[in-house]
Structure 1
Amino acid sequence: MSTLRTKHPFTGTAPEGLGGLTKLYLLQLQSNRITEIPDIIRLDDAEYGNSTFVTDCGVTQMTTVIPQEKTAVVKMGMNYGTFAVAFFAVFTILCCVVALSLYHFDKRKNSRKSFFNARVGEEGDTYALSKIGKGSVYSYFVTDKPIGWLVAFATLGIQIGILAFFVMASEASNLQDDKIDIEFTWKCPRDSDACKHKADWTKAGWVIFCLLMVAFLAKDMINGCKQWLGTNSAQECVISLVGCACVLLQYSPYITDIIVNSVIVLFIMEIDEYIFSAVDAMNEKWTEHAADTKVSEMEKEVARQRAQIASQQEKIDNQQKDLKRLREAVEKIQESQASAYECAECE
């Protein structure tokens, strides 16, 4: 047998007998949900390309299938859930290493300037607060309030949890589960051996995706870069989830799906601001300590130091005036003494 096209409802593991068909060059198993299939010794894809080996298809559409191929994540021996956890773990460790390196470098550089370090720490808090934004629960990270930190970490967990549903729904390890969000875009007509790819991945869709991302995330990306370059405290690191979330958009087979998924991800990234607004609506005092109180304290400290500087400057000005009057008095005494000396010589 050299060609096998069947609509037999295989589920789970394919029959082991398929591995014994050594002369196959075209294998299309339609209307199946197969998770494992034995190795086929010979399958020549020179004539039909990806249509040579088709194993799985959708539950409801009998002619919608997917070619037998492995993604980059599967080739690494991981599923997408494990990959997402590993990605976040590596990213978190990298942030901690960079933050600690900057902290120790700055501590060694300014070890003899404790007052300067204290001032830089306060300025760093103000700078980080201005870049994070007053309208986000992540502004609690620059305060010393345990409850605020708890709210911020809870919000971070909510965002990660929601994005995790995207990862789990896009996991293709169990095709027998009707709840997965996988849409098969390969269609194999009954009157043709060649299958067609119906996905609408055009450049226009990715241009729209890039425009949406730039429009909504440019400010956060620029502020994030400035914060990394302009601060030196480990507590000012706020992990961004957008990069990992964008990976999920590869499961959008059509332009409209790309736009919809982009908007959903962007909305998830704004949850921290909506939670902050809800807390502020319940009690404004609960949000004051996150941003306004901290800024007010810093402004008062700056005003106090400016008043001290102004007072010192006033004292210096008064001393300069006294010195000027003393100098003038000395000059007058010297002139009178010179005049008296000249008169004495004349006599």
Structure 2
Amino acid sequence: MRNSFPICLVRASAAGAAMIVAALSLSAPARANNVIVLNSGEATLSLIDQTTHQVVSTVPTGKEPHHLMATPDNASLIVANSVSNNLMFVDPKTGKPQRWVENIEDPYQVGFSPDKKWFVSTGLRLDRVDIYRYDGANISIAKRLPLAVMPSHIAFTNDSKTAFISLQVSGEVAAIDLATQTVKWKMKVGKVPAGLWMTPGDKYLLVGMTGADYVAVVDWQTQKIVKTIKTGNGAHNFRSLADGKHVVVSNRVASTISIIDEDALTNVGDITGLMPGPDDMELSADKRYLWVTFRFAKHIGIIDMTNRKLIQTIAVGRSPHGIYFFDRAPVTGPNGG
């Protein structure tokens, strides 16, 4: 295991730097409407012009970049390279690399607590959650916490006291006390839990069941499942529609997206006619268009939310996963990024 104290900023290797320089020669000028998509199977990111819907640049990353997260000041976008064991900080407007952070082992999913004091990384293949302190500039390890089996997605309470982690193989959700970096409890929720979402007021925790066809509604304070919401096979990840009322969940196996009313806790409609494997989603600033990555199709798609129709697909790299654009619609709740 690598030395975990301290985390340091380093330059890319000479070969990697040369690849990046070559890629950046094709980069578009700095614009706030560029979209960044991570191609997990190709170790690249695609930069797409949100207006023309054209791929304007492809930039090398580390191995298996799955998820991404903006820094609290939005000055950088963090790309988590799980197999390279590092973080790549890029300009969120241009996709240009800014710096690299090493000694982050197996960063599959990452997230900042709402108070911005904690940076959490799940190690999917290492069965571990790493909790880092964050002071606005530096990231330093607080604790490496064993947590089996296959910790994947993260959600936080608004008071930043608790982080929830889905455990895909053991079919559980774990609650972590961030102040003490200890596991408060674990509970069974179903087959292959993945995406997590807190409803308004932190009332319920929604859990996407990728091994089933529903979202589990968890009363996290009593550790009980109070309801299940039928969606589609492979219920996976969430994104707020930024209206304070609805959240969408991608159904990777059914190749649909379901719209959930957060108050009624019901499925109020499904978006169909999609390409295989919808996964991560992002909403345009005007809230009209939902962009989605299709993990199994080497494409992303654009959905017009006024009629809930897929209006365009754009070819990118292999296994597109995380997606982000700078001028996105606000995310309600603590699950931004």
Q: TM-score, normalised by structure 1?
A: 0.20
User: Which has more radius of gyration?
Assistant: 1
Q: Greater share of helix residues, 1 or 2?
A: 1
Q: TM-score, normalised by structure 2?
A: 0.20
Larger RCO of the pair (alpha carbons < 8 Å, separation 6+):
1
